[in-house]
Structure 1
C-alpha cells in the first residue's frame, strides 16, 4: 500500500510532468521547432524524364507572438534554400485566434511571403480562415478576400478554381488551384443554413487542355475522393496533422474523414495525396507530436 508521502510525491510528479508537457506544447514545439519533411514519388501518369521539386508551405496562421512577420520571413528564407523549382502556398495565412493572440495585418504577412523565390514562381490558394476572417466576403457570399488582394499585390499568383500550364526544360505540367471548400459560414443574414464551399473541381480541371500531368492545390483534403486519376498529385493542408498527436494518433482532426487524410502521403485508386502538417496553430496556440514543417516533394 502506498504511503501518504509516496502518494503526494506521485501527485506532485504528475503535476510537474503535466506542466512540462504543457509548456513544451505551448512554447517549444510551435515556436522553436521547424522540420523539413521530404517525399519522393513518381505518380502513374507523370511525364517520363520530368524532374520537379516543389516546396510547400501551408497553414501559416500569422499572429503575435507565435507567428509574427519576422518568423514568416525566416521560414521563407529556409524555404528558398531548399532548391525548389516551384513554391506552393496552400492557404490559411490568417490566425483565427483573435481572443488569445494579437493580429498581424495582411500587409505584413504578405510582405514576408513576397520574399519567397522559385524559378517557376510562387503559387497560392486560400484557406477557410482566410475567408472566415473577412466579414465583407462573408456578407457578399464571395471574394476576393483581403487575403487574395494582399498576395496579388505582392506578385504571388493566386488560384481560385483556375489551372495554368507551366514548363520545365520544355516539358509541361499544370498547376490547378481550388477555391476553399468551407469558405462561407452559416448565418441567417446571408440565408446560409450550413457551411458551403466555393470550390469547383470539374470546372477547374476542364481548363486543362492537354495530357500533361496536373498538380492540384486544395486547402482541405476532403475533396480527394472526388479527384480523378487524371490528377498526378493533390496537395493539401488544413488538418495540421491533428496539431496534437500522441503515439501517432490525433484525438481531433478537422476532416469528415477523420484520420484517413489527417497527414502524410496517401494513395487511393492510383491517386496520390500529400497532406502537410502546416506551420502555425489554429483554435489554440499549441502543438504536440506534430512540429511545424516545410514540405519538399521530388516528382519524377
Structure 2
C-alpha cells in the first residue's frame, strides 16, 4: 500500500495505514489525543535542568582541581636573624589522578620562586603497594633550594607502602616496613630526605623538624625538635590534628592532609574534613597548643575524586621574618 500523507493541526503524519475522516489511523481511537500533562513537562524540565547543573558543576570542579596558584604568606618567626623564603608543597597524591606532567608543573612553579628552602608535607604517593614511583622521583629531583629540600610521610604514603593498603582490600603488606625503608632511601637519593621524628639545622638560626604521620601512632614532635637549641623552630607535620598536643611552643608548624575539605560551599565551608576537629584546622592560619602559629595548606592533588569546589590547589610560598 502506498504511503499516505495527512496534516492536522500543524502536525504531519507519515504512514501506510488508511486514515479515518478525522485524520487518525484506522483501528485507533477516533478521539484526539489528550493534551500534554503540564506536571510531566515540569518534572522533565526539572530533571533536564538539574542534569545540566550537575554537569556544569562537575566540569567546574574538575577544572578547579587541575588549576593551582601560588599563595604568598608572611609570618614572624622568633629567633630568625635574617628573612627566609620557604616553598611548601603538600598532598601531591602522585599515581591516583596525578602523573608526571602535573608534578613537573608544580616543580617548575616552585623553582621559579627561587626559595631558600623547599618542604614537602606528605601524601606524595597514592599508588599501589607494588608500584614504582620513579617518574615522581625524577621530577622531585629537579627541585632546587640552597638550604635543601625535606619532606615527611602522610597516611596515603603508608597506604602506598602496603600498611593497610586500601588498593589491596585493606590488607596490610607483610613487608610494608621494608618498602617504607626502601622508598625513604629512594627519596633521599632524589634529594628529598624524609624527616621521621627528626630534624636538621638548615641554618645556624633555624631548625627544621618533621614528624611521622599521626595516624600511624608513631608521631614524636619532641624528638623532631630535640636538637633545636636556641634556634628558631619550624615543624613539618602532615596532619594538623597534632596541633593541640604539641609538647611545647614551636615557632611555626606547616601541615597539609585536609585539602581544605576539597569541596566547600558558601557560608557553610567544607561538609567533610578528615580531622577529628571538624573544620577547626581545615585550611589557612590556625593556632596550636601554646599559641603556636600553624599554616594548613589546601594541597595540590586530590583524594577520593578529582574534584574541588571553592578550594583550589595551592603551592604556598612563605616569607619568614625574625
Q: Describe the superposition over 1:167-218 as per-residue Cα deviations: whole angstroms up to 9, x where unpaired.
A: 2xxx5110001011113xxxxxxxxxxxxx211122222232x211110000
Q: How much does 1:142 deviate? A: 4.1
Pick from 25, 48, 51 the counterpart of residue 12 of structure 1: 48
Whether 2:258 is the aligned partner of 1:258: answer no
Per the alignment, residue 31 of structure 2 pairs with: none
Q: Which one of the candidate residues 262, 284, 294 is aligned to 1:273?
A: 294
1:94, 1:48 → 2: CA distance?
33
SS at match of 2:276: coil
1:227 match: 246
Q: Deviations over 1:56-79 (max 9, x none)?
A: 000000126x31112101110011
2:117 match: 86
1:107 positional shift: 1.1
Which residue matches 1:50?
82
User: What is residue 133 of structure 2 aligned with on the other side?
Assistant: 106
- Please tell me whether the aligned partners of residues 161 and 177 of structure 2 are also in contact (alpha carbons under 8 angstroms): no
Verify the 8 A CA contact 1:229 1:270 in the aligned structure 2: no
**What is the Cα deviation at residue 155 of structure 1?**
2.2
Structure 2 distance, partners of 1:146, 1:57, is 22
CA contact (8 A) 1:228 1:271 kept: no
What whole-Å deviation, never above 9, does each CA across 1:239-261 have from its counterpart, x for those lacking one?
11111111161111111111111
Q: Write the deviation string for residues 120-164 of structure 1: whole angstroms up to 9, x where unpaired.
A: 111111111111221278635746344323211212221111111
2:315 to 280, 294, 298: 294
Greater Cα shift, 253-262 or 140-149: 140-149
TM-score (norm 2): 0.78
Instruction: Supply the distance in 2 between the matched residues of 1:145 and 1:23 (Cα, whole angstroms).
Output: 40
- Flag the structure with more relative contact order, 1 or 2, with Cα contacts below 8 A and sequence separation at least 6: 1
- Counterparts in 2 of 1:88-237, with a 5 A limit? 88-95=119-126, 105-135=132-162, 139=174, 142=177, 144-167=180-203, 171-183=204-216, 197-208=217-228, 210-228=229-247, 230-237=249-256
Q: Which runs of 5+ in 2 are unaligned?
A: 1-37, 164-171
Q: In angstroms, what is the RMSD of aligned CA positions?
A: 2.3
Unpaired stretches in structure 1, ≥5 consecutive residues = 184-196
Distance 1:55 1:295, change over 3 A: same
In structure 2, the residue corresponding to 1:199 is in which secondary structure? coil
Deviations 1:51-109 (A, max 9, x none): 01110000000126x3111210111001111121100001111225x6xxxx9731111
Higher Rg: 2
- TM-score norm. by structure 1 comes to 0.83
Distance in 1, Cα, partners of 2:124 & 2:259: 13
Aligned residues: 272
